[in-house]
Structure 1
Amino acid sequence: MQPEFDQVVRSEPPDAIVSDLLLSWIAPVANELNIPRYAFPGTGCFPLSVELSILMNRAQIGSVDEFIVPGEKSKEFFDRARKVNLSTVDLVVNSFSDLEPAYAEYYQRVMGKRAWMVGPVSLCNQEPSDMVERGRGVIPPEAGQIFQFLDNKPTGSVLYVCFGSLCQFPLAQLKEIGFGLGTSNVPFIWDVK
């Protein structure tokens, strides 16, 4: 998406950019065009503070490699994203002040960046009619069976499982996750890459 993003931003420069924390390729064009960039990590301040504390206290806890999951292939990717995001103006955080005030204060104090608390963003559609229509215009027509499945279940009874686009599980682990979901007796939709 980088070439398309660069083209759009160059043709009509925005006043600011809010981007996923992991999209480090956005930084060069934003910096070049002097567009303020805000990172959106998608998590709350607690996990951000834990990660920050681990990184700041490497000498006391030993090698940070102790925290890398065996088989992890994305260490360089995350290191690059972390380095690039030091240049963001502030963070937009999927949380709210009353949920984790101590961690929001800690993160802001240590990082020297404001954490704009805008969450929980998952509750953006409050009206039932909005929630029912969410995504219908984006999902291809062949996915109609998903809506049929959901329409036959009570509201709030279906578990949505998605590990994001970066996770790559070994086949054996995928099978175990599937087995666990299947034996849970809870209706679910599992979004597998």
Structure 2
Amino acid sequence: MPMPPPDTPIRWFTGLYHLLRWVLGGVFIYSGASKLLAPRVFAVLIEAYGLVPDAMLMPLAVILPTLEVLAGLALLVDLRGALGTITGLLVLFVAILAYGIRMGLDVDCGCFGPEDIEARAYHGLRPALYRDLLMLVGVGFMYAWRRYRHIDPLTGSSWLKKHLNKKTEDAYVEMDAEVDPGERSGGGSGRSGDGLHGQQVREGA
């Protein structure tokens, strides 16, 4: 049986890194978007923990999901700061869930908005806590792989510049493809004929 090439584990772990990046990004986009669809319901869920003043409930019910969506989108394209933001959010969620479990609160997690199937099924916080801890393990792997492979996420300006350059290159390719090859060759023949005619005139003079 032939031995796999030495770089096979590298490819596997690189694929796992990108898979985790896409999964985490998608989870946070879905989580934040579902809460933004019903911010008042999410505010009620926040109030159940008894940690936030009433005046801050609605602002937090909008700001927190918006941050989730933006962090998820940024992680999909691997922008700098996205993984750090998601790590901070996960740590915050774990701390709040652990507090709720310690206090014996009988509340819904609300992690995926008012239509959270998990919340209706279990009506508890432990499954959500275990899921967030598992995601933190994935985040830890991503940080370790970045350090091992010297992966440097893109900044916002470098990502924008990269895509603008790509669009510019595509536009030039399309413009070049629209030029008729016969016109290019005909133009060249015309220029050659002009040069020959000029040479004959000089010789006749």
Query: What TM-score, normalized to structure 1?
Result: 0.29
Structure 1 or 2: larger helix share? 2
Structure 1 or 2: larger strand share? 1
Greater relative contact order (CA < 8 Å, ≥ 6 in sequence): 2
Q: Which has the larger radius of gyration?
A: 2
